[in-house]
Structure 1
Amino acid sequence: MTYENPYMNGQILPELNILEILRQRNPLVICITNDVVRTFTANGLLAIGASPVMSECSEDLENLIVHASALLINIGTLTRDKVRYYKDAIALAKKHEVPIVLDPVGCHAGAYRLSVVLDLIKTGAISLLRGNQSEIKAIYDALSPNNQIDTSTTGKGVDGVQVEDSAVMTYRLARLINCSVVATGEEDYVSDGTRIFAVPHGHPIMTAVTGTGCLLGAVLAAFFSAYQPCKNTLSIGEFLAYALAYYGLAGESAVQVSGVKPGSFGVAFMDSLYTLDDTMLVSENRIRPIVVPDQLQVYFVCGTQDTGLNKKRLLEIVEEACRGGVTCFQFREKGDGTLEGQQKLELAQQLQHICAKYDVLFIVNDDVELAVTVNADGVHVGQDDMCLEDVRHLVGHKVVGISIHSVEELRNTDVVYADCVGVGPMYATSSKPDAQEPCGPERISELQAKGLTLPCVGIGGITLDNTRVVLLAGACGVAVISAIAHAEKPYEATRQFKQLVSNSQ
């Protein structure tokens, strides 16, 4: 398939070279870690191309922090004196704008550990929280605004078990504490509060070797040094997912050499961390994008055609809608007099900036090339647009949405390449001149009965009065155009939709 992006002016997107960048930079990672894993952590960081240093006191840290690329705080061997040091270290790192990775070892196993972790999170300075799924669940339960703590999942010591709905939990916690979250288990999840990725790599033997979990926190800290050159093509969530994939693939590669034997695995693992390169990361689909229902609750679709071709008004409305609680915004610029080329690109970038400020998923309608150029969170296409397989090939791990109107279209759509679905029109609508005949909310139930399992939204003629009916039919959320774009107060209209959807789920 030939492909030339009209927005790129002949430029080619850079190749993925995360490991190459990291090794060239040889980042200094300061590790405040537990007594059991220091040697293993230091050797692991050296193997990936970083420089480790273990710090034990604030006076020492004051000299080191100015040279550091990242700081790891691992609470594995906890004492009251160390808690004071953790706080001093966080203050110093924050002052010098050094990313902080917090590993909340065993916080699900005792109230004191959990209280320490919550106290450190409340500083607002943590860049990444990395724990096993039981640890992440304990933190989420403690901070969840509904206070409905589920104690059904327990841990044994610092070990964790697989937690159901870990992807949802990881996404919600990232939004609650305003930093990226990694939850490891049989399948790892990472979220930056906007996107979510699953990483299936690794081997069970890794849990039988002391230090592999703790080393991961240090490795992720080192990877922060390589993000800046990649930020125009990768979100921080996708970037961290690749770092997780590298670590898991190293474990899989080591087992091929050592067999399932803990003693020899440790040595083989260090060798794998040292020898794996970027080609391994791009040789297959190493990470998997995920869409959870929370992201689709209030899905706002708009372009200048909905604001009287007034670009300024569009930007104002989108800002108000983001403040009001939309969970996803789709930039749909279609119709007579709408923007094209460079003007459309610049508007997309402005809208993307607004969405990023509020951690709102930014989706581009139909225009795959534009989505790639601005590094949008995703793209939504219709039945008459580019086929889904080609879309997925071009956008990689971005969210891919597809419109489906009937059971026949479902049968003819290769939904394996999609992440979410728009079903409609639910009701008569004037927002899309080319809209099909209304199919009603019952179409959602019908499609799900015929095998549709992807999260979906109902679109077309959605109002506050009919939203609940659409949700009861099986939708995760509602896609709205006029009810927000033409509202006298878009902020208030959005808040009403958000409250209605939240109360219905």
Structure 2
Amino acid sequence: MTYENPYMNGQIWPKLNILEILRQRNPLVICITNDVVRTFTANGLLAIGASPVMSECSEDLKDLIIHASALLINIGTLTPDKVSYYKEAIALAKKYEVPIVLDPVGCHAGAYRLSVVLDLIKTGEISLVRGNQSEIKAIYDALSPNNQADTSTTGKGVDGGQIEDSAVIAYRLARLINCPVVATGEEDYVSDGTRVFAVPHGHPIMTAVTGTGCLLGAVLAAFFSAYYPCKNRLSIGEFLAYALAYYGLAGESAVQVSGVQPGSFSVAFMDSLYTVDDAVLMSENRIRPVVAPDQLQVYFIGGTQDVGLNENRLLSVVEDACRGGVTCFQFREKGAGTLVGQQKLELAQQLKQICAKYNVLYVINDDVDLAMAVNADGVHVGQEDMRLEEVRNLVGHKVVGISIHSVEELHKTDVIYADCVGVGPMYATSSKPDAQEPCGPNRITELQAEGLTLPCVGIGGITLDNAKPILQAGASGVAVISAIAHADSPYEAVQQFKCLVDGIK
């Protein structure tokens, strides 16, 4: 039976054909890359359906850039003269609105490399940073406003170790520099500052072949040319996750032909990049949504029922809250006199635009059909709603949240299909008339002792005065309705919650 979304009037989202679009466009990718990998990079770009060109000076680049779909800057073989050229290239790319991918090769291994990378990022013109997890962590440590650099990373040379919490670092860095970040390792992570995705890296043999990491930067640059037709369907983060999935699939496919032999693998890998198509890419469920705990710190929930059934008031409150720094907004439209049908859809679309403007995770409460129709970032369901497995099958890579009130509910819930959890009610609440009896902050500790590992928020009756015990009990954040929706200044209310959470974390 075909699934029909009541909000979409019989329309369906078109199937994704990312690789077909890329190959039809045959994008020109200008590569300012290192001496070691030029041939491998050029052959790889040709295999995926792009056109590579290597450029070594500004005079040459001025003629090429007007035809380019993307520019790759790879600092692998670094010299002072090249640094000047990188900056000239960035200025030219900016002039012609060409996206720039920066590969900060080895920036975790030396102060000079890191300083060059930071200077390039600070131009504000980089479209994507792609590095191994040690490189990404080094950049984040250097730019982090907390200035608490951790020098204990195990990476050496241009190779990097697997850094714990790389998903969180990718998310934080993407927000800090306002562009997507890809951090590669045993598992790759990509974040656009709103969403985070994990993708299997491929086969371990890929790390034994010089140039596979550098080629990935060029492949990601080529993929930018195929994004525009997909932008209403996919966030840039999810789109890049598909690029990572394609690359990893090609690696695994190549090993099946070559065996675990680096020399043979290089040839087979080029063949796999050429032959993997959209049917194969879409049939493999390789992309996993990730919720970084940071995304749940100040979680605002609201609908027109919380603002006197006034749509404009809700829009104003949500925008103020987003400006104030909420990390997630859940649209919950329930109760007498609230919107339904087309009116609910239109309001949901307006709220999505506000959240997107501020890189705030946007979640729909209960209504899976609405979440799909507006292409929200996620959906949150209760114990009495649709089964989690069914929800996951419908929403794909969107964030899935679930309410859990007790240890008994935890054990009967298929949390494998969820990404985050709402626990409550923490305290007595007037925002939800059918709320259960308060369970208190200790319930979070109990659930984690019983095996809950997903990031969670406490919800129900939370104010500035009683939020601290919830965070101390192990919650990643607090979910708030009235304390923000009814505040004289939602912006200031959110700021106060942020200060409280930051103080605990």
**TM-score, with length taken from structure 1:** 0.99
> For residue 128 of structure 1, what is the amino acid of its counterpart?
L
* Paired position in structure 2 for 1:72: 72
> For residue 267 of structure 2, what is the amino acid of its counterpart?
V
2:487 is equivalent to residue 493 of structure 1: no
* Paired position in structure 1 for 2:49: 49
* Paired position in structure 2 for 1:425: 425
2: CA distance, partners of 1:412 / 1:263: 50
1: CA distance, partners of 2:117 / 2:126: 11
* Paired position in structure 2 for 1:448: 448
Q: How does 1:264-279 map to 2 (within 5 A)?
A: 264-279=264-279
> For residue 226 of structure 1, what is the amino acid of its counterpart?
A
2: CA distance, partners of 1:348 / 1:62: 45
2: CA distance, partners of 1:450 / 1:456: 14
1: CA distance, partners of 2:201 / 2:471: 35
1: CA distance, partners of 2:263 / 2:338: 64
* Paired position in structure 1 for 2:304: 304
> For residue 46 of structure 1, what is the amino acid of its counterpart?
L
2: CA distance, partners of 1:209 / 1:425: 53
* Paired position in structure 2 for 1:287: 287
2:406 is equivalent to residue 406 of structure 1: yes
Q: Could you tell me whether the CA contact under 8 Å between 1:299 and 1:479 is conserved in 2?
A: yes
Q: Could you tell me whether the CA contact under 8 Å between 1:108 and 1:154 is conserved in 2?
A: no
Q: Could you tell me whether the CA contact under 8 Å between 2:420 and 2:454 is conserved in 1?
A: yes
> For residue 229 of structure 2, what is the amino acid of its counterpart?
P
Q: Could you tell me whether the CA contact under 8 Å between 2:185 and 2:201 is conserved in 1?
A: no
2: CA distance, partners of 1:61 / 1:342: 51
SS at match of 1:465: coil
Deviation, 1:452, is: 1.2
* Paired position in structure 2 for 1:474: 474
* Paired position in structure 2 for 1:395: 395
1: CA distance, partners of 2:38 / 2:343: 54
Cα displacement string for residues 55-99 of structure 1 (whole angstroms, at most 9, x for unaligned residues): 111122122111111110001111111111101111111111111
2: CA distance, partners of 1:204 / 1:405: 41
2: CA distance, partners of 1:410 / 1:154: 37
> For residue 12 of structure 2, what is the amino acid of its counterpart?
I
* Paired position in structure 1 for 2:112: 112
SS at match of 1:453: coil
* Paired position in structure 2 for 1:139: 139
2: CA distance, partners of 1:37 / 1:73: 13
1: CA distance, partners of 2:279 / 2:499: 46
SS at match of 1:318: helix
SS at match of 1:53: strand
Give the ranges of 4+ consecutive aligned residues of structure 1 lying more than 6 Å apart after TM superposition. none
* Paired position in structure 1 for 2:356: 356
2:228 is equivalent to residue 228 of structure 1: yes
Cα displacement string for residues 319-349 of structure 1 (whole angstroms, at most 9, x for unaligned residues): 1101111000000111111111111111111
Deviation, 1:436, is: 1.2
2: CA distance, partners of 1:7 / 1:54: 48
Deviation, 1:155, is: 2.5
SS at match of 2:427: coil
> For residue 26 of structure 1, what is the amino acid of its counterpart?
N
* Paired position in structure 1 for 2:313: 313
* Paired position in structure 2 for 1:17: 17
> For residue 341 of structure 2, what is the amino acid of its counterpart?
G
2: CA distance, partners of 1:334 / 1:60: 61
Q: Could you tell me whether the CA contact under 8 Å between 2:189 and 2:196 is conserved in 1?
A: yes
Q: How does 1:129-278 map to 2 (within 5 A)?
A: 129-278=129-278
> For residue 254 of structure 2, what is the amino acid of its counterpart?
A
2: CA distance, partners of 1:353 / 1:481: 20
2: CA distance, partners of 1:26 / 1:315: 42
Deviation, 1:26, is: 0.7
Q: Could you tell me whether the CA contact under 8 Å between 1:363 and 1:377 is conserved in 2?
A: yes
Cα displacement string for residues 148-191 of structure 1 (whole angstroms, at most 9, x for unaligned residues): 11111142211111111111111111111110000001111100
Q: Could you tell me whether the CA contact under 8 Å between 2:41 and 2:214 is conserved in 1?
A: yes
* Paired position in structure 1 for 2:347: 347
Deviation, 1:262, is: 1.0
1: CA distance, partners of 2:196 / 2:383: 26
1: CA distance, partners of 2:380 / 2:139: 34
* Paired position in structure 1 for 2:99: 99
SS at match of 1:44: helix
SS at match of 1:255: helix
2: CA distance, partners of 1:423 / 1:70: 45
Cα displacement string for residues 244-292 of structure 1 (whole angstroms, at most 9, x for unaligned residues): 0110111111111111111111100000000001122222311111111
2: CA distance, partners of 1:284 / 1:275: 15
* Paired position in structure 1 for 2:59: 59
Q: Could you tell me whether the CA contact under 8 Å between 2:184 and 2:201 is conserved in 1?
A: no
Deviation, 1:435, is: 1.1
2: CA distance, partners of 1:158 / 1:152: 16
> For residue 314 of structure 1, what is the amino acid of its counterpart?
L
Greater mean deviation of Cα atoms: 371-380 or 443-452: 443-452
SS at match of 1:362: strand
What 5-or-longer segments of structure 2 have no aligned partner? Answer: none
Deviation, 1:3, is: 2.0
> For residue 152 of structure 2, what is the amino acid of its counterpart?
S
Q: Could you tell me whether the CA contact under 8 Å between 2:206 and 2:251 is conserved in 1?
A: yes
Deviation, 1:2, is: 4.8
> For residue 147 of structure 1, what is the amino acid of its counterpart?
N
2:503 is equivalent to residue 503 of structure 1: yes
Greater mean deviation of Cα atoms: 396-405 or 202-211: 202-211
SS at match of 2:131: strand
Greater mean deviation of Cα atoms: 20-29 or 149-158: 149-158
Q: Could you tell me whether the CA contact under 8 Å between 1:254 and 1:269 is conserved in 2?
A: yes
* Paired position in structure 1 for 2:457: 457
1: CA distance, partners of 2:332 / 2:29: 44
* Paired position in structure 2 for 1:483: 483
Aligned length: 505
Deviation, 1:35, is: 1.0
1: CA distance, partners of 2:315 / 2:169: 31
> For residue 319 of structure 2, what is the amino acid of its counterpart?
E
Q: Could you tell me whether the CA contact under 8 Å between 2:132 and 2:160 is conserved in 1?
A: yes
Greater mean deviation of Cα atoms: 179-188 or 448-457: 448-457
SS at match of 1:461: coil
Deviation, 1:201, is: 3.4
SS at match of 2:97: coil
2: CA distance, partners of 1:383 / 1:73: 49
1: CA distance, partners of 2:431 / 2:289: 30
2: CA distance, partners of 1:157 / 1:409: 49
> For residue 444 of structure 2, what is the amino acid of its counterpart?
I
- Coordinate RMSD, CA, aligned: 0.9
